[in-house]
A = this chain, B = another copy of it.
Amino acid sequence: MQKKIRIKDIAKMAGVSAGTVDRVLHNRGNVSEAARESVEKVLKQVGYKPNMHVSSLSLKRKYTIVVTTPQASAGAYWESIHNGIRHALDEYENIKVKFRIFTYNQYDIYSCREVFEKIAHYDMDGVIIGPTFHEETVKLCEKLSDRDVPYLFVDSTIANTKPLAFFSADHYVCGQLMAKLITSIIPQEGKIGILQAVRTGDRSANTTILRIKGFTDYLTERGCLNPILRIPFSVATPEDNKRYLSQFFKNNEHIPGIVVMNSRGNFIANYLSANNIMGVKMICMDLTSANVEALKNEQIDFLIGQGPEYQGFFAMKTLLEFLVFKQPVSVQNYVQLDILTKETIDYYKNFTNIIY
């Protein structure tokens, strides 16, 4: 309970005025070499930590921040990311932020191009990107870099870019985890069905591939001999899926376990229920409301969450603290993977709850 060290105290210790300390803290220039050194020495010595909430109180500057992600449907993955972002804005309610969300259709590359083109010329202080299309994202990032606009990724990161930071699950490890879970709960050498998107252009490009790699590597490393069956599935054209599934389950009876690497696990779960296919263990991704319901109904055995609210929250928080307080930023931020079951789901704090 030692007394808080204030700017004033630093000033006295360094033998200068508060204004000079402020100029050093914010790199505003117009400070003599001698004064700067003296202040910086004291700063280091006492480990000064500004009170951000007070600081933002007297902040005059306005910031414009752009968020671009795939369209967010209710109760689904991207909505949670948006919620996290909004909560970060509440937390720093004193900072004057104008923020705009640009969403694109994650199954339509032209929609993405159009939106990114707009963003590339928009006047803003920072961008948070939920990426889907690799090439388009790289291009956007190059333009942003040229303009010195910092950008952050959520959900996954993109190679050949220099983001200020990214917040993402380690999708490779996620795949390993799914392998561990499914092999733990089905008989040895039991067949495993894996949901595999039939078209690229959705998040598969970035994340599912990594997950599948982690999954198969795990099985190989452990010498698991479970046969892997790919279940065709299309997120873009859902009308085809019933056909895909009925065909699959006609050819493959008595599958003991299914792993779904995107957030549409509930679709399979409901198909199984509707067609009275019992005793299939399921491991699925993401706490969409549909998946949560399926978990509660014991249609899904383990649901893995990647804290989308957390990702959004910290992406925005990091960006704000970087812009306003020039805080140093850690670039790689792998979020935790939450394993949920019917028993624990009711107690799960989706992070939005944590803050308030």
Interfacial residues, chain A to chain B (CB-CB below 8 A): 1, 4, 51, 53-54, 57, 93-94, 96-99, 169-170, 173, 176-177, 180-181, 184-185, 301, 310, 334-344, 347-349, 354
Residue of B with least CB distance to A304: B344
- Please state if B343 and A347 are interface contacts (CB–CB under 8 Å): no
- Please state if A1 and B339 are interface contacts (CB–CB under 8 Å): no
Instruction: Given A51-B93, A97-B1, check contact A341 B339 (CB 8 Å).
Output: yes
Cα A14 to Cα B97 with chains together (Å): 29
Instruction: Given A341-B339, A343-B177, A347-B170, check contact A184 B301 (CB 8 Å).
Output: yes
What are 8 pairs between A and B in contact, CB < 8 Å?
A: A170-B347, A173-B343, A173-B344, A173-B347, A181-B341, A185-B185, A336-B348, A339-B344
A221 to chain B, nearest CB (A): 12
Among A177, A338, A342: residue with most chain B CB under 10 A:
A338
Instruction: Given A54-B54, A176-B343, A343-B180, check contact A4 B93 (CB 8 Å).
Output: yes
Cα A99 to Cα B180 with chains together (Å): 45
Among A96, A301, A343: residue with most chain B CB under 10 A:
A343
This protein's copies in its complex: 2
- A170-B347, A184-B184, A354-B354 are known contacts; what are 4 more A-B pairs with Cβ within 8 Å? A51-B57, A180-B342, A338-B338, A339-B344
Among A334, A336, A338, A342: residue with most chain B CB under 10 A:
A336
A16 to chain B, nearest CB (A): 24
Cα A349 to Cα B334 with chains together (Å): 10
Among B1, B177, B185, B310, point to the contact of A341 (Cβ < 8 A). B177
- Please state if B349 and A343 are interface contacts (CB–CB under 8 Å): no
Cα A226 to Cα B138 with chains together (Å): 56
Cα A99 to Cα B1 with chains together (Å): 8
A329 to chain B, nearest CB (A): 13
Question: What 6 A-B pairs come out closest when comparing CB atoms?
Answer: A53-B53, A339-B339, A177-B343, A336-B347, A184-B185, A337-B344
Cα A341 to Cα B177 with chains together (Å): 8
Contact residues in B for A343 (Cβ distance below 8 Å): 173, 176-177, 180, 337
Contact residues in B for A97 (Cβ distance below 8 Å): 1
Cα A180 to Cα B281 with chains together (Å): 13
A98 to chain B, nearest CB (A): 6
Contact residues in B for A94 (Cβ distance below 8 Å): 4, 51, 54
